[in-house]
Amino acid sequence: MAEFSAEVFQNEFLSDGGTDVHAIVSVTCTGAGTAGAVGVAPGASATADAGGTGQVAEIVAVDTSGSMQGRNMEAAKHAAAVAVDQIPDGTLFAIIGGSHVATRIFPYPNARVPMVAMEPGARAEAKRAISTMSASGGTAISTWLRLADDLFATVPAAQKHLILLTDGKNESEPSMHLDRMIEDVTGHFQCDARGVGDRWVVGELRKISTALLGTVDLIARPEDIAEDFAALVRKSMARGVASVDLRVWAPQGSQVLFVKQVAPEVDDLTSRRTEVNPLTSGFPTGAWADETRDYHVAVRVAAKPVGSEQLAARVQVAVGGEVQASGLVKAKWSDDSTLTARISPEVAHYTGQAELASAIQEGLAAKAAGDEATATVKLGRAVQLAAETGNDEATSRLRKIVEVENEEEGTVRLKRNTAKLDEMALDTASTKTTRVRRA
């Protein structure tokens, strides 16, 4: 049985007239177990009457557009086969080939069942089907998401996960089609998106992964796809808790300014808000393994006289509608500047990490647009923030893009003729954070 705990870090003292309360809530899950495949016997069809809320469904969607011709296609086929080997027996699964249209590779298109439960025979047949994939056509990722959503909709799985791989731009449809499809499927399944090589667009895949509670990353070399796919499937199968909500209660008359995941990655949850009751907001966080995630919660309350105290927020962890853990965010008004001027180390650290992610992304966007002045300022600020927050990985990646003259002041010069893969690696890793160092 999974257990959750929540710990709050904040400076609860506000100056006279102060209204904004910031806290870092660290949530830990232990005993999550592994993702179950309850209710479907190996070899059985995955139909709506298969039963069992513990079921897990996994889909692998591989780009089969013409740009994948050659090494990328062969590596992707090998990776898909490796992923199939990592899917445990009993797990519902399917394979999709994606170009300007989406095709169900396995179960075969003429099969009467949309997804099947993994077992040795299905595994071997899926690999045989994968080996027949070939590259042709354009790229319309909205069709891949639509087919995945349609397949997932046929099964009763509590946990649904898609791995999506592409090597190119979404060039065979208007961008609004992809945006609309992302909106349509949000909340239906989680998606980890991967781009291989340097011809895909980080922003496109980030839109998908952010909305669908997943990750985006660069696979620089085709030969690395298999290892990445295998790791993604193992990570998915380690998530023994299918769905967790972070709930924030705030008193009447207050305002929840934002809720952001700040570790292990920056992910703004604010726009995903659902109403639990008039004073409580729910924010979906997806499936969990044994892990710790940190959240930055900001609430604006009405100012009160010096000496007053109040509960600014109650942050709860809910699984299946049942609250498993909670933490209290407090506010105390004081005229003692030694108390009110203190900044919580946790809040300061993660505020810097979130700004770091924005500075990197904005700096790279300015560089791509030819605005070298803005790019230099933004990436210089990123160098400064990476040093201040101890993000050595970001510092290392930034040094491939800029010459650092003064790290503490953020004085840099743009390098000429930087490798596009280095810029993409910096962009995709920009949201990955380091944890605050606690004594």
pLDDT per position as a tens digit, 93-103? 999 999 999 99
Q: How far is CA 31 from CA 2, 37, 284, 319, in A?
A: 4, 17, 20, 14
pLDDT per position as a tens digit, 146-166? 999 999 999 999 999 999 999
Rounded to an integer, the average pLDDT of 267-287 is 97
Residue 48 pLDDT greater than 80, yes or no? no
What local confidence, expressed as pLDDT, does residue 36 receive? 65
**pTM value?**
0.93
Task: Please list, residue by residue across 199-211, b when 16 or more beta carbons sit within 10 angstroms of its beta carbon and e when fewer do.
Answer: ebbbebbbbbbbb
Q: Which residues partner with 95 through β-bridges?
A: 60, 106
CA–CA distance, 199 with 87 (Å, rounded to integer): 29
Rounded to an integer, the average pLDDT of 190-197 is 97
**Confidence category of residue 74, pLDDT binned at 50, 70, 90:** very high
pLDDT per position as a tens digit, 215-270? 999 999 999 999 999 999 999 999 999 999 999 999 999 999 999 999 999 999 99
Residue 82 pLDDT greater than 70, yes or no? yes
Could you give the count of Cα atoms lying within 13 Å of 24 in the half-sphere of its Cβ? 24
Q: How many Å separate Cα 174 from the centre of its chain?
A: 24
CA–CA distance, 376 with 410 (Å, rounded to integer): 9
CA–CA distance, 354 with 332 (Å, rounded to integer): 26
Q: Which of 262, 259, 254, 165 is nearest to 209 (CA)?
A: 165
CA–CA distance, 63 with 165 (Å, rounded to integer): 6
Q: Which residues partner with 322 through β-bridges?
A: 319
Q: Burial level of 268, CB count in 10 A (0-12/13-18/19+)?
A: middle
Q: Across the chain, what does the average pLDDT equal?
A: 94
What local confidence, expressed as pLDDT, does residue 438 receive? 64
pLDDT per position as a tens digit, 370-414? 999 999 999 999 999 999 999 999 999 999 999 999 999 999 999
**Cα torsion 207, 212, 213, 214: sign:** negative
